[in-house]
Structure 1
Amino acid sequence: MGDSSDVWVGSAYLFVQSTSENVLLPSLYGNPDRKPQVYKALKLAFADSTGRLNGVDMLKVHCSDPHLIVQLKFCNRENCRKFLQSYREGSLRDSLQRHLKVSLAMSSPLPVQMELKTGAGQLDSMLLEEERCVECISQEKPNRLRDEEIIKLEESLQNLSCQEVCSSIVSSAIQTPPVDSSLPPCSSVSSLSSLPQGDTFTFQGQQFANRKITLDDHQKFAKLVSKKWKQVGRSLQANCRALHDPTIDNLAMEYEREGLYEQAYQLLRRFIDSEGKRATIQRLIAALEDNGLLSLAELLLGIHPNETAV
């Protein structure tokens, strides 16, 4: 059978449970103030799993202590396979833990465990048989439309995004938010070996030594790139799998409360952590050139000693 997105449909139930003694997900989701934050974390984690913001639909979220039971709908075989791969490798779990930490403003990721089920039974025992899992999900047809509560959460999330993006632009113009000291240091600072001797590149007719991106580069970039951080990210994403869609849009949503500085900081951090030794100043300068940010490029290369606004 071909992968026809307009005819193929399937459903599954994801059981999510916090393994922390101090946190019950059903209690959090039952709290009107916390419910949108938990929903946002789920939505972003599912987007990470398929590489698309709407690759998986949530039809309803049930609270059944100690689980949140999320009824999922798939309208595309390929998205279903990507979801299963992410679930099997633990990427979905890690992503949800990370998004819950940010959405709920926690000091550390919230540990969770998951089970995936259909009417045919638990899928965890057959995850290595991907086509069998896809067939089980295909046989489980959705028995409902999207729940009214989910529709309201989607609307509130969209409204929140618009309001907070506007407010973050204003606040970032007034002050630079501090770097989150609870985050581990960037791999570019402490763990990467030096680049080969003699590795150079040309910028504005001058030769510069290629090197790893330093913490000082990282902070200056976040402070001065302003609203163009997304454009720079899209220039960097060509050869960086960690920045492929919808990662950049997800970062914008995930860190919208913190403002433009933190969004830009986390973008470059994702690039550095993913690319390792290949996260060089040459690649960053090229991305800045692509987007007309020459003064920031000059600053990072030490052409102008004094910081200036981009």
Structure 2
Amino acid sequence: MADQTGHRGQWTGCAVIFLQSLCPAVDLLSLYKDREQGKFIVFKVIKLTLTDSAGGLGGYEILKVHEADPFLGVEVKFEDAAACQQFLESYSSGAVRESLCQHAGRLLALTQEITVETQLKASTHILDLCLDKLELCLQHIHLSKPERLRDEEIERLEQLLQSQALGPIAQDEGPVPSNCFKFQNKVFEDRMLTAADVQSFSNGVGRHWKLVGRALGKSCRALKSPAIDNLAYEYEREGLYEQAYQLLSRFIQAEGRAAKLSQLVRALEDCKLTSLAENILDIQP
């Protein structure tokens, strides 16, 4: 599969993810159709899930979200074979469904766990039936070419999500306390990084972990070159999650009590991974 992933920018493919909540209190299709706020929340759940499972913000584009009663259909164009492969691996392992449930539960402020049923198709092929053959799934997606440009509604939701991520223009409200930091014009308590932070980072950063590592390395000697390349080589077989996990663990080990949340958030901002920073900070719309 390496020959396919090597041609970035030339590889495209299309798949449709069908989603249905099995929780009686949550109807994703009705939420998306009937309420503007519900539409935005459902879109954000989908966007965060794809960011988690495809390894970052790049490599894919949501073209359309449509009714496929009782499912909600999400048409996705993949623009990078590596991102598509990582998504397939996440989908096959159940990580996509888990991420959907996690983000939906948080953004919808549910008091009970939500279960989401999914189906993945490329053209007429139901990929759930051949997930044990990832190369075949990747080929089906590659052969299923997008038939449309991005829907105007999706364009509007993307812009709304981007404006939320950027936050309002900061105003002069006095100095931020020394034990706090500012993100998106909101003040957060600065604290040491926790195991939950490491897990959220490792789940969401994907192949961008090296970029974040280099950003952290500006102030951390333990992550100076060639430490990051050594980590990539040492944990290559374990995959992206373990590489990211070891990166942040090494940062915490080296910095000790100085390994603060603000440093990670700043590094994510520098790498344009604001949605992951929002997830770690548990920012809700």
TM range (shorter): 0.5 to 0.7
Contact 1:46 1:55 in 2 (8 A): no
Match of 1:117 in 2: 121
* 1:149 correspondence with 2:153: yes
Note closer, same or farther for the CA distance 1:102–1:136 as it changes in structure 2 (3 Å cut): same
Equivalent of 2:87 in 80, 83, 93:
83
What residue in structure 2 maps to residue 223 of structure 1? 189
Q: Provide, for residues 42-68 of structure 1, a one-character-per-residue CA deviation record: whole Å limited to 9, x for no partner.
A: 101001002111332110000222211
* Aligned partner of 1:14 among 8, 17, 34: 17
Contact map agreement 1:28 1:35 (CA 8 A) in 2:
yes
Q: Answer yes or no: is 1:57 the counterpart of 2:28.
A: no
RMSD across aligned C-alpha pairs, in angstroms? 3.9
Q: Per-residue deviation at 1:279?
A: 9.7
* Aligned counterparts of 2:169 and 2:104: Cα–Cα separation in 1: 20
Residue equivalent to 2:163: 159
Distance of 1:54 and 1:165 partners within structure 2: 26
| 44 and 166 in structure 1: CA distance in 2 versus 1, 3 angstrom threshold | farther
The residue aligned with 2:27 is 24
Change (3 A) 1:280 1:79: closer
CA contact (8 A) 1:57 1:73 kept: yes
Cα deviations by residue, 1:170-229 (Å, 9 ceiling, x for unpaired): 7xx69x9xxxxxxxxxxxxxxxxxxxxxxxxxxxxxxxxxxxxxxxxxxxxx7344xxx8
> 1:181-192 to 2 correspondence within 5 Å?
none
Matches within 5 A, 1:1-310: 1-3=3-5, 4-30=7-33, 31-163=35-167, 223-225=189-191, 241-242=202-203, 244=205, 282=253, 285=256, 287-288=258-259
- SS of the aligned residue for 1:134 comes to helix
**Offset of residue 285 of structure 1:** 1.6
Letter in 2 for 1:33: Q
In structure 1, C-alpha distance between the alignment counterparts of 2:122 and 2:99, rounded to whole Å? 22
Q: CA separation of 1:55/1:280 partners in 2, compared to 1, >3 Å: closer, same or farther?
A: closer
Note closer, same or farther for the CA distance 1:20–1:284 as it changes in structure 2 (3 Å cut): farther
CA contact (8 A) 1:97 1:109 kept: yes
The superposition leaves residues 210-253 of structure 1 with CA deviations (integer Å, 9 ceiling, x where unpaired) of: xxxxxxxxxxxx7344xxx8xx79xx97xx84574569xxxxxx
CA distance in 1, matches of 2:44, 2:108: 10
Aligned residues: 211
CA gap of 1:23–1:164, structure 2 versus 1, over 3 A, is: farther
Counterpart CA distance in 2 for 1:75 and 1:150 is 17
CA contact (8 A) 2:120 2:126 kept: yes
In the TM superposition, residue 282 of structure 1 has moved relative to its aligned partner by: 4.9
3-state SS of paired residue (1:58): strand
**AA in 1 matched with 2:94:** G
Structure 1 SS opposite 2:132: coil
Cα deviation, residue 106, structure 1:
1.7
Paired residue type of 2:66: H
Q: 1:139 to 1:223 in 2, by over 3 A?
A: same
Flag structure 1 segments of 5+ consecutive residues without an equivalent.
Answer: 177-221, 248-273, 293-310
1:120 to partner: Cα distance: 3.4
Distance in 2 between the 1:280 and 1:73 partners? 35
Distance 2:141 2:204 in 1: 29
- Cα distance in structure 2, aligned partners of 1:34 and 1:108: 18
Measured in 2, the distance between the counterparts of 1:90 and 1:77 equals 20
Alignment correspondent of 1:266 = none
Q: Distance in 2 between matches of 1:54 and 1:2?
A: 17
Partner of 1:204: none
- 8 Å contact kept, 1:47–1:55: no
Q: Secondary structure at the match of 2:166?
A: helix
How far apart are the structure 1 equivalents of 2:88 and 2:21? 21
- Aligned residue identity for 1:42: I
- Whether the 8 Å contact between 1:12 and 1:116 is mirrored in structure 2 is yes
Q: What residue identity is the alignment partner of 1:11? A: C
Q: How much identity, in percent, do the aligned residues show?
A: 33
Q: Which amino acid aligns with 2:130?
A: M
Aligned to 1:205: none
